[in-house]
Structure 1
Amino acid sequence: MSTTGARVPGEEAEPGQARAWSGLWWWTRRRSVVLDVSLAAASALESAFEGAEFTAKVGIPTGLGALVGLLVGATLVLRRRWPIAVVLVAIAVTPAQTGLILSLVGFYTLAASEVPRRLTALLAGMCGLGTMLVAFVSIESSVRHSSSRLGLPLVLAISILVAAGLIAPPVLFGLYVRARRRLVESLRDRADGLERELELLAEKAAERAERARAAERARIAREMHDVVAHRVSLMVVHATAWKSVALKDGRKASESAELVGEMGRQALTELRQMLGVLRSEPGPSAAPPAAPPVAGAVAGAMAGVDGGADHEADTGPSLAELAQLVQESRAAGMGVELAVEGEQRPCGRRIEATVYRVVQEALTNVRKHAAGATAQVRLAYREAEVAVLIVNGPAEQAAAAIPGGGHGLTGMRERVTAHGGGFAAGPTPDGGFRVSAMVPTAG
């Protein structure tokens, strides 16, 4: 006999109860055992009484009928494990007018379980037909012996109503409970799915926050590198020149000392600007509403990146300052030529700051690695982009001992590609070095 679809409402074990009681056979909770045993006991007593009464009518010993009825009614204890078997037993004893409780509870359990609805309808139809025939015979016999004048159609209608009244309610109630349970399970599954999606979103948000923090750290590192490397390299060059001319030309030594002081003040000013951005906090009016921890982390990280970008856009260098940058390098003894092509126009402070930093780092690298070499800086304003080319010749003397971290070219490339531009750097055939960058200005 099929055992599929035996699960009925109330069968699922709760976590606390599952830990307290390991279960018995197909029952997972104590109250399920108590309920089924109680129903089976009531069904057994009812079937035993009805079985004895039926056997007395047909001339069979009542004890045998009571024993059979007792066994038939007790099969209700199997309703959760084998609901189809219980219903078949109820259909089998229908002609003996036995097992009312067995039939009602069995059909409810069958309809509420996962048994296909077609099979439930077939068994309900079989039991209903048997019940109708038994009711028809019983009513017709009573009418005949009581000399009542009920017509055959009326007796048939009453028989149909009796059969429907006994079979339809438990089946319909069972189907309702089954549908309700499926709805609850689908809602639970949907809630679990949403919880898993929220966990994935939280993980992705944490990853985005970490990437945002990494991007902000890289941006700060680039700014610090550009400021420190350029200014300090100029200070080293001037200090070296100062040492060589201190005893020969006091006026020139004084000028070198003044330039070193000016470079130091400029470096300190730019460092204070960046540290001020790092230490600044948003005002009360700009404070965002409370957010979950992960969302707050992402918002904070992205706010840091945006804040740094805004700072660079507001206070970063512009292309108009390139002439001063070239003049500083000339003052340090480097031969630098600046050529500007195209009509000069504002390109946006972020873009101008990017191009300025590329030129600044390129000239710093010339001072570090190609002492005495001349450099040419070409700035070109084009229709939808601004391009810059820095080319230097081979070194003509030993470079000053200026340490480097090896991140200059990487920082320049990151700056340019962040705006969707192109960057290239490499040695020239004559032993020099070439740096070129193109940054789009549209969009």
Structure 2
Amino acid sequence: MSSLVRPHRHDLLIAVVGLLGGAVLSLLGLHMQNGRPLDAPWLALLPLAVMSGAELLRRSAPRTALGIGTLALAADQFTPGNLATVLMFTDLMYAAVLYGTPAAARRIPVTTFLITVGVTIGFLAWFREPEALLIGIVTGLVSFGPALTGVSVRNHRDAAETARLRADQTALLAEMDRAQAVTAERARMARELHDIVANHLSAIAIHSTAALSIDDPATSRDALGVIRENSVDGLAEMRRLIGLLRTGAADPEPSSSPSLGSLDVLVEQHRTNAASSGLTCTLDDTRTAPGRLPAPVELAAYRIVQESLTNALKHAAPGPVTVRLGQTGEQLTAEVVSVFGARPGARAPGSGAGLTGMRERVALLGGEFEAGPVPAGDGAKIWRVRARLPLGEGSVKP
């Protein structure tokens, strides 16, 4: 069983005011016409009451309300008439356009205009007097005028709603952009922190384990020296990054970031750190004319080599660790190769975040990345990390 729709409080107010106002006009003897077939004054109250009832439906069922109002207005023409009845009919015409369907909002103004023109021409032809134009004017004021007003108000309302939706969409897109920017910045910071901290802490973990495991003063002294060096370097790197975060540097790759020019220092540092593990680190730069590359490319290549050397320190079997740099046209290749196999001695734990960070760095530059074991001949395997980074200006993805 469907529930009845309660009339809006404004519709109820209009109906009550219209009914009471029409009753007062009738009591005062103010009528609109004389000489009608039903000339008893109280008969004008019947169309008035019907019109007031139709006002209750002006918002919930505007087409039904207009149909009832039209019949009530027609009946009112056979009585002395009431001004309140006519005024409420104009409101029903206005509401039918404003609250009706889009098709009704298009048809009603056209229909009322044609009715106004038809009534004007018909009464001019019938009476053949200029005063007949007044009938056409009254018809237009009662029907076409309210319909035209409803069209104007509806257009303004629709435009305001469209503007509100557009503003909501703009705000939503702005919030999505902000969230994406925050997520991207957090990911970048996570990569930087991992690459800075993991490198030094891995060396500290391995050498501290060696110092605790081997009861040899010379070994312990060397391990403590490596631990102190990595602690100081790691602290300096953390201070640099914290300083950049506090100052809010706009450049995502500041000039103080490491570059390929300092790669030999990095390799030498890892050679010292890995000496006790049987690893020998070497740098093979085959670029014919090494020069300054785009800052994002240099930082990405440096961090990839740094993380690969850290992984070799934690996981590689004793043997050579080779860092190769090459440049072909508009592409830089960074490769780190180490012996793949079981590593004896102390080992630092790994979480796998390093490989994820390297892939993300390469993806942001639109390059190619691969990491994994590959055959090296005689049944042996090597672990190879290779990144190909484009050097074009448009290679950096937003």
Which AA in structure 1 matches 2:13? Answer: R
Q: Assess, with a 3 A threshold, how the Cα gap between structure 1 residues 409 and 317 changes in structure 2: closer, same or farther.
A: same
Asked whether 1:320 is paired with 2:261, we answer yes
- Paired residue total: 353
Deviation at 1:245, TM superposition (A): 7.7
Tell me if structure 1 keeps the 8 A contact 2:301–2:334. Answer: yes
Query: Which stretch of structure 1 is more off in the superposition, 219-228 or 359-368?
Result: 219-228
Deviation at 1:435, TM superposition (A): 0.6
Give the SS at the match of 1:215: helix
| Residue deviations 1:43-72 (CA, integer Å, cap 9, x gap) | 695669834xx78xxxxxxxxx533x6425
What TM-score results when the alignment is normalised by the length of structure 2?
0.75
Deviation at 1:426, TM superposition (A): 1.2
Asked whether 1:78 is paired with 2:50, we answer yes
Q: Assess, with a 3 A threshold, how the Cα gap between structure 1 residues 337 and 48 changes in structure 2: closer, same or farther.
A: closer
Cα distance between partner residues in 1 of 2:33 and 2:158: 47
Cα distance between partner residues in 2 of 1:383 and 1:391: 23
Which AA in structure 2 matches 1:189? Answer: D
What TM-score results when the alignment is normalised by the length of structure 1?
0.68
Q: Assess, with a 3 A threshold, how the Cα gap between structure 1 residues 414 and 195 changes in structure 2: closer, same or farther.
A: same
Asked whether 1:338 is paired with 2:283, we answer yes
Give the SS at the match of 2:346: coil
Which AA in structure 2 matches 1:84? Answer: T
Asked whether 1:233 is paired with 2:202, we answer yes
Tell me if structure 2 keeps the 8 A contact 1:235–1:263. Answer: yes
Tell me if structure 2 keeps the 8 A contact 1:371–1:398. Answer: yes
Which residue is equivalent to 2:382? 432
Q: Assess, with a 3 A threshold, how the Cα gap between structure 1 residues 50 and 161 changes in structure 2: closer, same or farther.
A: same
Asked whether 1:391 is paired with 2:337, we answer yes
Give the SS at the match of 1:431: strand
Which residue is equivalent to 1:50? 34
Gaps of 5+ in 1: 1-11, 19-27, 56-64, 137-155, 282-305
**Which residues in structure 2 correspond to 1:28-43 (within 5 Å)?**
28-39=11-22, 42=25
Tell me if structure 2 keeps the 8 A contact 1:371–1:399. Answer: no
Give the SS at the match of 1:359: helix
Counting aligned pairs with the same residue, the percent is 28
| Residue deviations 1:307-357 (CA, integer Å, cap 9, x gap) | 4xx253322111111111221222231212321122211112221111011
Tell me if structure 1 keeps the 8 A contact 2:198–2:310. Answer: yes
Which AA in structure 1 matches 2:108? Answer: P
Tell me if structure 2 keeps the 8 A contact 1:231–1:264. Answer: yes
Tell me if structure 2 keeps the 8 A contact 1:421–1:439. Answer: yes
| Residue deviations 1:152-190 (CA, integer Å, cap 9, x gap) | xxxx4xxx3222124414524653333233222222222
Deviation at 1:210, TM superposition (A): 2.4
Which residue is equivalent to 2:152? 183
Asked whether 1:276 is paired with 2:243, we answer yes
Q: Assess, with a 3 A threshold, how the Cα gap between structure 1 residues 213 and 103 changes in structure 2: closer, same or farther.
A: closer
Let me know the Cα RMSD of the aligned residues.
Answer: 3.6
Cα distance between partner residues in 1 of 2:89 and 2:228: 99
Deviation at 1:192, TM superposition (A): 2.4
Which residue is equivalent to 1:360? 306
Deviation at 1:382, TM superposition (A): 2.2
| Residue deviations 1:277-328 (CA, integer Å, cap 9, x gap) | 23335xxxxxxxxxxxxxxxxxxxxxxxx74xx2533221111111112212
Deviation at 1:379, TM superposition (A): 0.4
Give the SS at the match of 1:345: coil
Question: Alignment partner for residue 213 of structure 1, among 182, 185, 188?
Answer: 182
Give the SS at the match of 2:322: strand
| Residue deviations 1:21-54 (CA, integer Å, cap 9, x gap) | xxxxxxx233433224533664695669834xx7
Q: Which structure's CA Rg is the greater one?
A: 1
| Residue deviations 1:224-274 (CA, integer Å, cap 9, x gap) | 2112211122234444565688747x4x76555433322211011001111
Give the SS at the match of 2:130: helix
Tell me if structure 1 keeps the 8 A contact 2:33–2:81. Answer: no
Cα distance between partner residues in 2 of 1:267 and 1:72: 96
Which AA in structure 1 matches 2:70? Answer: I
Tell me if structure 2 keeps the 8 A contact 1:336–1:375. Answer: yes
Tell me if structure 2 keeps the 8 A contact 1:91–1:130. Answer: no
Tell me if structure 2 keeps the 8 A contact 1:234–1:263. Answer: yes
Cα distance between partner residues in 2 of 1:263 and 1:436: 26
Which residue is equivalent to 2:103? none
Gaps of 5+ in 2: 1-6, 55-64, 98-106, 394-398
